[in-house]
Chains A and B, each alone.
Chain A
Amino acid sequence: MNTEYIVEMRGICKRFGGIHALRDVDLELREGEIMGIVGDNGAGKSTLMKILSGAYLADEGEIYIEGRRTEIQNPQDAFNLGISMIYQDLALFNNLDVMKNIYVGRELTRGPFGIFLNKKSMYKKAENLIRELRVDIQSPKLNVASMSGGQRQMVACARAIAFQSKILIMDEPTAALGVTEANKLLSLIMNLKEMGLSILLITQRIPDVLAIADRVFVLKGGKRQDVLDVSKITLDDVVTMIVKGKNDNEGRKQEMEFQSYG
């Protein structure tokens, strides 16, 4: 396998009952790049990324991380490989504070058999992380239920990158945000890229992708259409690809097939 890529997905297929959500999809992510994942509703963007993050199992296909074939059976496997995903609903715990949201499932421990929490260390590290990310959160002791949508996104980002993640997947991170908070988040994503993370960004907001991504991966009806270099395309090119597919006739055929399953 090509070691130029940090992630390679080959021939990924996924069905949900009679619906073919992904058909023979290949994806390659380079180290340190931001790749936008775009497509219409039901194109298979979230499904493909959930397979990479271990939330879903692929029916067929292979995944290579840093050139090595890997089996991702659950979110813990993905986490162990340095893959973190921020879900559309953020998957946060409203009953817990910022520190606890960052560390749940990956607690720092002390004492015999690692059964006791090292709260002091977790609060300190969470505070440093917030400072490092330059996000607008006053204290790791704040409860996330009392936070704005933008702040909650920041907490989800902090959680995703707190454990030396190499690959970050973000599912529609700006969808529920206003203009100012969305811009703040986009600069945070650029910061994360500078910190060396490779990022897969699912979004319906094409201008966001054109503003910060290096390449755009287009899906339609569960099939890969093309990967476009952002420096060589316009908004219209991406929209046309999303709507019509790479080959108009092929795209139309696939669309009809896909709808017939529904």
Chain B
Amino acid sequence: MSKIILNIVKKYTVMFVLVILMILFSFTSPYFLTIRNLTNIITQNTYFIIVAIGLSFVMIGGGIDLSVGYQMSLVGVATAMLMVVHQLPVWLAVTLGLLLGTILGLLNGLIVSNIKVFPLIATLATSIVFQGISYLVSRAKTFRSYPDEFLFLAKGKILGMSFDVFLTLAIAILVSIVYYETVFGFRLMALGGNEEASRLAGIGIRKMKITIYTLCGFFTAIGTMVMISKANTTNSSFGPGTEFIVLTAAIVGGISFMGGEGNIPALVAGVFILAVLGNGMQLAGWGTYAQFIVRGVILLGAVAFDEYQKMIKTRQKRPESN
């Protein structure tokens, strides 16, 4: 019986941590467990969830993309300029923005798979390039007052639910199905688990890598649309820093740094753990700087825990031959 309970606790650790945090913060502030505050936590984090889902493709496949923040910066200012400066119709500006994000992801995928640079270094380099382009294009200006159709993305409602929450839920369900029910998801887990064995199994490694970085770019662009729609303003500083939050959330949510593991519900819980921590600390009067320290410590702790689990698995689980 105790083994069953232990297994359940192990399987749903992230969810338990989230619930425990919520209980703790409900004691530190009477406003924490109000419907309004909880709704705020959900709606303020939809774009983080979408970008984290995009990043999960890359991380499960054994890679990393540190450029998502600056992809958001570039896609954000480009889309805003198309709508505000060039007065393009919203549907066209959004389509071009999504296309730009997809191309940025494709570029990362081509660099990682063709030049065979470490993904960490490659995407760090492209993030600097994206940053430069973003500031060049925007000339460090701020763009605001988007058309109403675009603001619907963050403020509109469908079936009583905020449109961005609806969109995030749809994306989370769709990607969960991709991970667990499709050949692509199956091969993605295999690629992250053992790249050489995947090659020997006949999986097109190069094509897979290009695809996952491209998907990351596409979902990052969707997240960007939600982010700038919520803010109703954009400049080149919108986006950078997101990579740190989604990376931390992904690792807290059980997506291994080594690849081959991860699921969407835990990833979403990972985003909410960081969100609840931020919100709870704010309400408790801890301020922004203390939150940076806590987030950094959490990232370090989550990576250390990931490594520890890997070590335990290889050391204990495999009995000696014969």
Contacts and interface: CB of A to CB of B under 8 A. Distances in A.
A91 to B, nearest CB: 4
A116 B192 contact: no
Interface class of chain B by DSSP = helix
A93 B190 contact: yes
A104 B190 contact: yes
Contact of B186 (A55, A74, A94, A107): A107
A74 B242 CA distance: 41
B322 A180 contact: yes
Contacts of B321: 148-150, 176-178, 181
Contacts of A105: 187, 190, 198, 201-203
Contact of B181 (A55, A117, A177): A117
A147 B313 CA distance: 11
A106 interface: yes
Contacts of A94: 193-194, 313
A87 interface: yes
Nearest to B183: A107
Nearest to A153: B321
Contacts of B197: 91-93
Contacts of A181: 321-322
B248 to A, nearest CB: 22
B28 interface: no
A95 B184 contact: no
Nearest to B196: A91
The size bracket of the interface on A is 35 or more
Contacts of B196: 91
A115 interface: yes
Interface in B193-221: 193-194, 196-203
Interface string A80-118: 000001010001111110001000111101000011110
B198 to A, nearest CB: 7
Contacts of A176: 321
Given A91-B200, A106-B202, A145-B318, A96 B189 contact: yes
Contacts of A76: 202
Interface in B242-298: 260-261
A167 to B, nearest CB: 16
Nearest to A50: B200
Given A100-B190, A104-B198, A148-B319, A117 B261 contact: no
Contacts of B116: none
A32 interface: no
Interface in A10-67: 55
Interface in A143-179: 145-150, 176-179
A79 interface: yes
Contacts of A95: 189, 192-194, 260-261
B302 to A, nearest CB: 18
A136 to B, nearest CB: 12
A117 B183 CA distance: 6
B193 A93 contact: yes
Given A93-B193, A94-B193, A94-B313, 18 more contacts: A75-B201, A76-B202, A92-B197, A93-B190, A100-B186, A104-B187, A104-B203, A105-B187, A107-B183, A115-B183, A115-B184, A116-B182, A117-B186, A145-B314, A149-B321, A150-B321, A178-B322, A179-B322
Interface of A: 55, 74-76, 79, 85, 87, 91-96, 100, 104-107, 109, 114-117, 145-150, 176-182
18 contacts: A74-B202, A91-B194, A91-B196, A92-B197, A93-B198, A93-B260, A95-B192, A107-B183, A115-B183, A115-B184, A116-B183, A117-B183, A145-B318, A148-B318, A148-B320, A177-B321, A180-B322, A181-B322
